[in-house]
Structure 1
Amino acid sequence: MFVQFLAATGVLAVLTMVPGPDMAVVTKRAIASGWQDGLRTVGGIAAGLLIWGVLTVIGLAAVLAASATAYTIVKLSGAVYLGFLGIQALLQSRRSRSVASAVNVPSPSGNPWRTGLVSNVFNPKIAVFYTGLLPTLAPSGFSPHLGMTLLFLIHATLTLVWLGSYVLVLAKARAFFEKPAVRRTSDRITGVVLIGFGVEVAASRP
């Protein structure tokens, strides 16, 4: 059983570290508003994972993954939101041209925790991942619900640790990112990446 948990944790760790929409959202928020808002965004993402975990345990995530209509609604909502964040970052890069220091650039609007939560909850790939892959990783010594619940908690914890550490690394280099030219370039790259992820989510299939 311990070996199964160890193997499952390893797989979840690898999947957690693969760059995706969550990392792009965290990067945007941490660079623009500082490590505190970055960590709040990470907390919202982890809360989104827990919501997906609950939905999976009670069977709603499986319904979403199996229903083309429900999947389309969620994926398009997520795509629009990621696109909105991307456009916001691009507009931010244009506004930063008119100031002498990036410190004076207005921080992104909206609650960072809510930003992380919404971006994660409207990512239908989580539903597919939780209903398709996670059951194969659940240890056989537990009931299906208990085994899955433990894996959800492990995944949320790994996400908190990984993205939280990433935010702190960004904080160490914030002086570099506060340079106007670097800030403009960073906002542009982040904006394009977020829009790209939005397109990817919109084009995804169950």
Structure 2
Amino acid sequence: MIGSTRARNWLRSGRPLCLRWRSIIRPCSVGWWCWSGVLIWPLYVRSGAPLFAIAGQTITVDGLLFGLAMGLRVALMVTAAGVWMMTTSPQKLTVGLLHLGLPYKAGVAMTAAIRFVPLLNAERATIAEAQQARALDLRKGSPLSRAVKSVAIIGPLFIRAIDVAQGLAVAMDARGFGVRDGRTSIVELRLTGVDRMVMLALLAASLLGIALRLLGIGLISRDYL
């Protein structure tokens, strides 16, 4: 219940999702993603000089390098998404999307989905504690048995998610959401010189990456991206 109360207070406050750095760095560490890429992708990338064979599968140099590159890509995307959620409030996110030309209904839907992540996570913790009080131990047993036991959490969580979504829909209808085409906001965003410099730098980096890709510079295997 404490987690649910904190999540609801955060929803009302409109502040950025304040997570600890460890909550992002640990599950999304660069080493973890790199090891995942190195273990998975070499089984599919067959080009390059062979190194050794495992269970009839030949592991090549290009496969290892490609797996390392894919792991770094995923780590960068997930870490950037976590930092973005930590530093951007939902209101500013919606207003920014509206300024970019996105329909306000789509912007509100995206913001609502992000804002309900901590709420559903808190509900999951509450349901897990309630099931543990009923002698359900999810930490013991084989992976298959633990997956079967998790149904006792997934089912109530799914029902709770539907209940929250219905409550949100009723509240939005009661406030006349979607009646008018335009929408006003108390939050105003204006581009500054620093914002324009960052946007130009990101655009230049994107164009440089596309140019290097077309020229074949840094390309590990031509059969894969």
**How does the TM-score come out when normalised to structure 1?**
0.36
Q: Which has the higher contact order (CA 8 A, sep 6+)?
A: 1
TM-score, normalization by structure 2: 0.33
Looking at secondary structure, tell me which structure has more helix per residue: 1
Q: Quick check: which has more Rg, 1 or 2?
A: 2
